[in-house]
Structure formats: structure tokens, C-alpha cells
Amino acid sequence: MKNNSIINILNILKGVVIAILLTLVFLLIFAIILTYTNVKEDTISPVIIVITALSIIIGSSVANMKISKNGIFNGAIIAIIYMLIIYLISSLVSNQFEITGASLIMILTSVICGILGGIIGVNKK
């Protein structure tokens, strides 16, 4: 039983790492697009939300394929850990530790995406 819990924790951490790495890759691609095209800056926020959502869904799905139970709970945990890491990094970079309405929407969206990814991962054969 204890060994199974360790495996679940490792898979959750794996999901978080996958989500963060995907975020970095997608943001790099978006930065290149912004640099070399005439994409307007008002697209930045929606694109970041989509990148975050996709990254969490994929990371949560991959992690929960190995766990194969409690997808809703594990997906939410992956999203929460992901958001904590992203929040800490962005707060350190911007030197602003505050939670705004946009932050709360992002957190809620992330948890919903984590849950969705968890459900997909658990049910994927």
C-alpha cells in the first residue's frame, strides 16, 4: 500500500513536470510568433490561458494513465501544484505577490483542466 502511494506521488510530480515543460515549449513558440509576425499584444492573455489549459490537460492525462484511479482528485492536485509553482515564479520575477481576479479565474480554469485531464487519463486504455 505504501509503495503504491509513492508511485502515485511520483506520477503526480511527473504530470506537473510535463505540464511545466509543455508550457515552456508553447510559450517559446508563441514568443517566436510574436517576434516575427504582426500578432497584436492583446492576444497574449488569451493565448497564455490556452497554453496553460492545454499543458495541464496533457500533463494530468499522462500522469493519470499510470495511476488509473482517482483521476478527478489527482488531476486537481496536479493543477494546484502547477499553479503554485507558476505563481511563485511569476511573483518572484515581477516582485508582486498578489492574487487578482484574473489570478483566481486562472486558478479555477487550471483546476477544471486538471480534473478534465485526470478523467481522460484514467479512462484512456
**How far is 124 from 68, CA to CA, in rounded Å?**
9
Q: Return the C-alpha cell found at 19.
A: 505540464
> What would the pLDDT profile of 29-83 be if each residue is shown by its tens digit?
999 999 999 888 888 889 999 999 999 999 999 999 988 788 899 999 999 999 9
For the cut 80, the answer to whether the pLDDT of residue 4 exceeds it is no
Q: Return the C-alpha cell found at 55.
A: 499543458
pLDDT band for position 112 (cuts 50, 70, 90): very high
Residue spans of the domains in the chain: they are 2-123
Confidence (pTM): 0.90
pLDDT band for position 113 (cuts 50, 70, 90): very high
Overall size of the chain counted in residues: 125
For the residues 14-35, what does the mean pLDDT come to? 95
